Amino acid sequence: MLRRVAFVLGLAVLAAVAGVAPMTRAQGVDPTVFESSGDPGFDAWRSDFARRVIMAGRSPEVVRSVLSRAAPDPRVVQADQNQPEFVRPVWDYIDRAVTPRRITDGQAKRAENAALFSAIQAKYGVDADIIAGIWAIETNYGAAPLNYDAVNALATLAAEGRRRAQFEGYLVALIQMVERGYAGPTELKSSWAGALGQPQFMPDIYLQDAVDWDGDGKRDIWTNTGDALASIANYLARRGWSPGDPVFDEVRLPTKFDYALADGTMRSIAEWEGFGVTRLDGAPWSPATRALQAQLFLPAGAEGPALVLFQNFRSIRAYNPSDRYALAVSLLARGYAGRGGIVASWPRYQGALQRADMIELQQLLAAKGYDSGGADGMFGSNTRRAVRAYQQAEGLPADGWPTRALLDRIRGAPAPAVVNPIEADRDAAADLRSKASIRELQGHLNRLGFAIGPPNGLVGPKTRAAIAAFERRMGLSPTGRATTFILQRARTAVKAGR
């Protein structure tokens, strides 16, 4: 180490004396002088960076082997500047991430690597289906092409300068990966942002958490399935994964529930039961589960599904700090295991608040004294808190969930003529024609507690009254019409047990 510093200091003195003329190979190679990339700004940053990391103790040979091939990648700058303005609603994200095709692909991958998955699950205690779910979303089970060279991607973002310290840090980690022989400099394939291999680890995470499953000395998360999957498992195991515990349960909330309880606070399931929360499928929680801590989560506000999230959900969220990401991974895992997804319907009629709407909402809330910590257009915990405080003051369900209706209300705009898209669907649906389908509807209505007597396949006053009551229960205006829509809803309600 001392010798290396002395060597570099010697070079620095020599460079100061001789100017910056590159030395020839015969004179010994200055590891901080590179063939030009064609971009003078990049070249200047690269030589300076190389000098600094060698001074800090990195191997001059490795620094040179990593950085000599580096060149700015214009696609990276473009991707970095091209952050989406469009905010996808959570149900839209889930629809795209959790497809039947992806579930069957995952089941095939699980079968193909059955011994590997069970060995990894045995060693790390992490549910193999969750590992497969992360693998799916990160790189589509390793099939997604990694079209970027990590050195170029990270060097481009470091040289560009806005987040120089952060990306130089990643490059230092990348150099250490090569120094330790975990990976070769030409194997470092990544996303445009420098996320590596099948698990999409940033280099610092790779150094901490990637593992060499097959014991060949390399942590090959690019082409070795065992290394890739064990690295994902190790990451979760080191972030609080609790073997054998559930990830989430869908729940039913009592009427007149205080939605402000869904504020992220962890409480035992027994405490949640005290608030009237029950499993949606009606099954009781086991004594062991009743002792577990969980938070109540309304991924689309009070009008959408309700979930309790256990510690294992939080471990998944450590992989990518996004609730919808962790939810998609968990739903894929359920899918592989042949378990159903979320039963309650998403409030798709709400639409999505776009970034500009969110900024306006944050500004209007701040003007009314509900500070969301700056109007940045991002929906985070501060905005959730500000929305909740406003809702509480206004006597609204305090779910902390911003909707277009809420924005209109804060704007003080007159309430728009209410067009409930669910009612529009209902009104467009065809009347039930066959006696069999009417009998089926009558059976469902009986099971839902609208006692109309034995199904007779005829729509009489009792059936119409029961349909109207069922419509009111769904929050719809009553029509009493026996339609395909009502039959579908009744089936779903019976399945969900409500």
Q: How far is the CB of 225 from Ca ion (least distance, A)?
A: 10
The residues near 99 (Cβ < 8 Å, ≥ 6 apart) are none
Q: Which residue is nearest to Ca ion (CB)?
A: 212
Q: Single out the segment in contact with Ca ion by CB under 5 A; choices: 208-216, 255-263, 328-336, 469-477.
A: 208-216
Please give the C-alpha separations between residue 239 and each of 71, 276, 308, 319, 434, in angstroms, as whole numbers. Answer: 36, 31, 19, 9, 56
Nearer to Ca ion, 214 or 271 (CB): 214
- In the chain, what is the greatest distance between 2 CA atoms, to the nearest angstrom? 103
Q: Single out the segment in contact with Ca ion by CB under 5 A; choices: 189-197, 223-231, 447-455, 470-478.
A: 223-231
Nearer to Ca ion, 231 or 442 (CB): 231
Total residues at interface with Ca ion (CB under 5 A): 6
| Contact between residue 311 and residue 240 where contact means Cβ atoms under 8 Å apart | yes
Q: How far is the CB of 228 from Ca ion (least distance, A)?
A: 10
Q: How far is the CB of 221 from Ca ion (least distance, A)?
A: 9
Nearer to Ca ion, 187 or 399 (CB): 187
Nearer to Ca ion, 42 or 222 (CB): 222
Q: Single out the segment in contact with Ca ion by CB under 5 A; choices: 178-186, 225-233, 328-336, 407-415.
A: 225-233
Nearer to Ca ion, 36 or 208 (CB): 208
Q: Single out the segment in contact with Ca ion by CB under 5 A; choices: 149-157, 224-232, 336-344, 380-388.
A: 224-232
Nearer to Ca ion, 160 or 227 (CB): 227
Please give the C-alpha separations between residue 12 and each of 20, 47, 391, 397, in angstroms, as whole numbers. Answer: 10, 12, 64, 67
CA distance 108 to 152: 35
Q: Which of 39, 80, 92, 212 binds Ca ion (CB under 5 A)?
A: 212
Q: Which of 73, 227, 399, 423 binds Ca ion (CB under 5 A)?
A: 227
Q: How far is the CB of 216 from Ca ion (least distance, A)?
A: 4
211: contact with Ca ion by CB under 5 A:
no
116: contact with Ca ion by CB under 5 A:
no
Nearer to Ca ion, 145 or 215 (CB): 215
Residues in 425-464 that interact with Ca ion by CB under 5 A: none
For residue 67, the surrounding DSSP H or E stretch is helix 60-67
218: contact with Ca ion by CB under 5 A:
yes
Nearer to Ca ion, 45 or 206 (CB): 206
95: contact with Ca ion by CB under 5 A:
no
Residue type, 493: A
The residues near 483 (Cβ < 8 Å, ≥ 6 apart) are 426, 429, 430, 431, 432
Q: How far is the CB of 230 from Ca ion (least distance, A)?
A: 9
- Token pair in block for residue 144: 């997604």
Q: How far is the CB of 24 from Ca ion (least distance, A)?
A: 39
Nearer to Ca ion, 58 or 218 (CB): 218
CA distance 230 to 270: 34
Q: How far is the CB of 139 from Ca ion (least distance, A)?
A: 18
Q: How far is the CB of 215 from Ca ion (least distance, A)?
A: 7
214: contact with Ca ion by CB under 5 A:
yes
Residues in 272-331 that interact with Ca ion by CB under 5 A: none
Q: Which of 130, 135, 131 is nearest to 333 (CA)?
A: 130
Q: Single out the segment in contact with Ca ion by CB under 5 A; choices: 58-66, 212-220, 298-306, 413-421.
A: 212-220
CA distance 112 to 116: 9
Q: How far is the CB of 211 from Ca ion (least distance, A)?
A: 8
Q: Which of 61, 216, 258, 394 binds Ca ion (CB under 5 A)?
A: 216
* DSSP-assigned states of every residue in 409-455: HHHTPPPPP---HHHHHHHHSPBP-SHHHHHHHHHHHHHTT----S-
Nearer to Ca ion, 92 or 212 (CB): 212
Q: Single out the segment in contact with Ca ion by CB under 5 A; choices: 18-26, 220-228, 316-324, 461-469.
A: 220-228
| Contact between residue 199 and residue 120 where contact means Cβ atoms under 8 Å apart | no
Please give the C-alpha separations between residue 191 and each of 30, 145, 147, 201, 202, in angstroms, as whole numbers. Answer: 31, 9, 7, 10, 10
10 Å Cβ neighbour count for 69? Answer: 16
Please give the C-alpha separations between residue 358 and each of 87, 355, 470, in angstroms, as whole numbers. Answer: 10, 5, 35
For residue 479, the surrounding DSSP H or E stretch is none
Q: How far is the CB of 144 from Ca ion (least distance, A)?
A: 21
Q: How far is the CB of 181 from Ca ion (least distance, A)?
A: 11
CA distance 313 to 315: 5
Q: Hey, which residues does 190 pair with through a beta bridge?
A: 148, 196
CA distance 199 to 190: 10
Sheet arrangement for strand 306-310? 266-268, 293-297, 306-310, 248-252, 278-279
Nearer to Ca ion, 138 or 227 (CB): 227
DSSP state of 483: B
| Contact between residue 210 and residue 219 where contact means Cβ atoms under 8 Å apart | yes
Nearer to Ca ion, 225 or 483 (CB): 225
Nearer to Ca ion, 224 or 315 (CB): 224
Footprint on this chain of Ca ion (rule: CB under 5 A) = 212, 214, 216, 218, 220, 227
